Amino acid sequence: MLGFHSFRSAWVTLQGIELLHRIKKEQMIIVDGRDFSAAEQFYSLAA
């Protein structure tokens, strides 16, 4: 069976995809004037 087993897992997956798109388009907020790389932004949000 393919697909998502629950609405929550689909929602979390889509949020992650949107987050990666925002990071790629450099639409994330710069904190304390420091410019984070895409990897640093992702890991800071995943922690």
Give the DSSP letter string of 9-40: HHHHHHHHHHHHHHHHTT-SPPBTTB---HHH
Q: For 1-47, what is each residue's pLDDT tens digit?
A: 578 889 888 888 888 888 788 777 876 666 676 777 777 777 776 65
Q: What does the pLDDT read at residue 40?
A: 78
pTM: 0.55
